[in-house]
C-alpha cells in the first residue's frame, strides 16, 4: 500500500493528462487479475465480479494540481506538466487524490482476498480531471455505464485536513454546486482627462461587482447559503487612458437547484442592467465550468454511516454539515439517476499543529492511519451493499 502511495505521490499529473497514472493503475489491476479498460481518455475502469448481487461503483479521482510541492517529504513531487496554454508548471498531488487511488486499490485487494464475504459486482472508477470538472463527464460521455455494469449506488471519498483515522459524512447535500463565469464589459476608450467622451468600463465593472454582493445579502432568503465571489478583475494599461473594456471572473456556489437558478439569473440581470444604465454595449458572459451537486441520498447515507461506525468505531465517525467546496463526483450517479454517497476522511495528526488545507503546497497527509482508514472506509461502504450480511 505504501509503495503505491509513494509512487503516485512522486508522479502526479495534471487534469486530463493522467497517462502514466492510468498506466500504473491498469498495471496494478492486471496484477490483481481485475479486468479493466480505459474510459474518458485517461480514466480507468476495473470490474470485479462476485456472482449474483447488487452492483456498487466506487470512484477515486486521479489528478494532481499545478502547485510546487513544499512538504519536505522524501517522496515529494518534483514533477512538471504543461497547461493547455503551453505554460510549464510544477505538479503536485495537492488535493490528496493519490490517497483515494491507493485506498481503492488496496480495498480491492482485500475484497479479492475474501470472496466469501460478499456477493455482487464492484465497479472501480478511476476518474481523471476532477479539478477541472471535466473527468466525470468525459467518462460518462465515453459510455462508462454502457461498458460497465450499471450500479445501484455510487460511492466515493475525499481526504481532508481532519484528524487521521476519522471520517465525516453528511446527509443530504455534501458539497455545493459551483459555476464559474468570465465577464467582459465594453466601454468607449478615451483620454483620461476627457471622461465626457468615454464610457468607463472600470466604473461600470466596479458597480457590477459591488451590486453582485446584494444577491446574497438582499435577494436570497437569509437561511439559504450561497457565495458570489469575484476572483479576478483586469482592465486598463495606464492611468491616463480610460480603457475600452474590463474583464472579471465570478465563482458562484449554491446548494439547491432553485437557488442556483435564482443566483445565476440575478447575476445576468445585474450585469445587463448596470451596462444599460451606463449606456454601454451588451456585456459578454461566458461559462468557464460548472460542477454538479454532490448529494448524499438520505437512506443510503444512513446505511453507509452505520457501516463506517461499525468498522471504525463510534468515536471516529462524525456527521458533518455540507461544505461549500465542489466535486464532479455527483455527475457519475446523476447521469443514470441512481443514488450516491460521498464522505471525507482525515489525513493529518491535529495534535502536531494546524494542518494545511487542500491545494496548499504543504498538503502532505500522514501515511498512517490515513491510508488504512481510507481503505477500511472503502471496504465498509462497499460491504454495506455487497456484504453477505447486507440486506
Ligand atoms: Zn480533490
Ligand atoms: Zn482539489
Q: How far is the CA of 301 from the centre of ligand 2 (A)?
A: 23
146 and 90 housed in the same domain = yes
278 Cα to the center of ligand 2, angstroms: 39
How confident is the model at residue 391, as a pLDDT? 56
**133 C-alpha to ligand 2 centroid (Å):** 10
Judgement on whether residues 161 and 235 belong to the same structural domain of the protein: no
Q: What are phi and psi of 329, to 5 degrees?
A: -50, -45
Indicate the average pLDDT of the chain: 97
Q: Determine the distance separating the centroid of ligand 1 and the alpha carbon of 130, expressed in angstroms.
A: 7
pLDDT by residue (tens digit) across 60-114?
999 999 999 999 999 999 999 999 899 999 999 999 999 999 999 999 999 999 9
One domain, residues 26 and 149: yes
Q: Which of the listed residues 255, 280, 305 is the one where a domain comes to its end? A: 280
103-106 contact pairs (CB < 8 A, 24+): 103/60, 103/157, 103/371, 103/374, 103/375, 103/377, 103/378, 104/58, 104/60, 104/378, 105/4, 105/25, 105/28, 105/29, 105/32, 106/1, 106/4, 106/371, 106/375
Residues 15 and 92: beta-carbon distance below 8 Å: no
257/122 same-domain check? no
Tell me: do 360 and 330 sit in the same domain.
yes
- Mean pLDDT of the region 46-65: 97
The residue from 249, 280, 311 where one domain ends is 280
CA of 130 to the centre of ligand 2 (A): 7
Q: What is the pLDDT of residues 230-276, one digit of tens each?
A: 999 999 999 999 999 999 999 999 999 999 999 999 999 999 999 99
Both 142 and 195 in a single domain?
no
Mark which of 224, 259, 280 sits at the end of a domain.
Answer: 280
pLDDT tops 90 at residue 389: no
How much is the pLDDT for 295?
A: 95
How many domains does the chain fold into? 2
Query: Which residues are placed with Cβ below 5 angstroms of ligand 2, an ion?
Result: 95
Is 342's pLDDT higher than 80? yes
Q: Look at the chain and count its residues.
A: 391
Q: Which domain holds residue 271?
A: 188-280
Q: What percent of the chain has pLDDT over 90?
A: 99
Total-model pTM? 0.91
| pLDDT score of 11 | 98
CA distances (Å), origin 167, targets 56, 75, 155, 170, 359? 20, 25, 14, 10, 20
- pLDDT of 217 strictly over 70: yes
Answer yes or no: are the C-beta atoms of 173 and 254 closer than 8 Å.
no
Find out whether 242 and 192 touch, Cβ atoms under 8 Å.
yes
10 and 144 both lie in a single domain:
yes
Asked if residue 249 and residue 128 are part of one domain, the reply reads: no
Contacts of 68 (CB under 8 A, 6+ apart): 90, 92, 361
Cell representation of residue 119? 456477493
Give pLDDT tens digits for 310-337. Answer: 999 999 999 999 999 999 999 999 999 9
Amino acid at each position: 500500500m505504501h509503495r503505491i502511495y509513494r509512487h503516485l505521490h512522486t508522479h502526479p499529473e495534471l487534469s486530463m493528462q493522467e497517462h502514466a497514472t492510468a498506466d500504473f493503475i491498469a498495471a496494478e489491476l492486471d496484477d490483481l487479475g481485475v479486468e479493466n479498460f480505459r474510459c474518458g481518455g485517461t480514466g480507468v475502469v476495473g470490474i470485479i465480479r462476485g456472482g449474483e448481487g447488487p452492483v456498487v461503483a466506487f470512484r477515486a479521482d486521479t489528478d494532481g494540481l499545478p502547485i510546487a510541492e513544499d512538504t519536505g517529504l522524501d517522496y515529494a513531487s518534483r514533477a512538471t506538466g504543461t497547461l493547455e496554454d503551453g505554460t510549464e508548471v510544477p505538479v503536485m498531488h495537492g488535493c490528496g487524490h493519490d490517497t483515494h487511488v491507493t485506498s481503492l486499490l488496496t480495498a480491492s485487494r482485500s475484497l479479492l482476498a475474501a470472496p466469501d464475504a460478499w456477493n455482487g459486482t464492484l465497479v472501480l472508477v478511476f476518474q481523471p480531471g476532477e479539478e477541472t470538472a471535466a473527468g466525470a463527464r468525459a467518462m460518462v460521455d465515453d459510455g462508462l455505464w454502457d461498458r460497465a455494469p450499471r450500479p445501484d449506488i455510487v460511492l466515493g471519498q475525499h481526504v481532508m485536513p481532519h484528524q487521521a483515522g476519522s471520517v465525516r459524512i453528511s446527509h443530504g447535500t455534501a458539497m455545493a454546486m459551483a459555476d464559474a463565469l468570465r465577464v467582459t464589459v465594453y466601454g468607449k476608450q478615451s483620454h483620461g482627462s476627457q471622461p465626457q467622451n468615454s464610457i468607463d468600463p472600470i466604473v461600470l465593472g466596479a458597480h457590477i461587482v459591488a451590486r453582485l454582493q446584494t444577491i446574497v445579502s438582499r435577494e436570497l432568503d437569509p437561511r439559504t447559503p450561497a457565495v458570489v465571489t469575484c476572483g479576478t478583475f483586469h482592465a486598463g494599461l495606464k492611468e491616463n487612458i480610460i480603457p475600452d473594456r474590463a474583464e472579471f471572473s465570478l465563482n458562484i456556489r449554491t446548494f439547491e437547484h432553485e437557488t442556483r437558478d435564482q443566483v445565476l439569473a440575478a447575476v445576468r440581470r445585474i450585469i445587463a442592467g448596470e451596462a444599460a444604465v451606463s449606456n454601454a454595449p451588451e456585456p459578454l458572459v461566458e461559462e468557464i465550468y460548472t460542477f454538479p451537486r454532490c448529494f448524499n441520498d438520505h437512506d443510503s447515507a444512513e446505511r453507509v454511516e452505520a457501516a463506517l461506525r461499525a468498522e471504525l468505531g463510534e468515536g471516529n465517525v462524525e456527521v458533518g454539515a455540507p461544505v461549500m467546496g465542489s466535486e464532479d463526483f455527483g455527475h457519475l450517479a446523476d447521469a443514470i439517476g441512481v443514488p450516491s454517497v460521498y464522505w471525507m476522511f482525515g489525513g493529518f495528526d491535529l495534535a502536531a499543529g494546524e494542518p494545511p488545507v487542500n491545494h496548499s503546497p504543504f498538503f502532505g497527509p500522514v501515511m498512517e492511519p490515513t491510508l488504512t482508514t481510507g481503505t477500511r472506509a472503502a471496504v465498509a461502504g462497499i460491504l454495506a451493499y455487497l456484504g453477505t450480511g447486507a440486506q
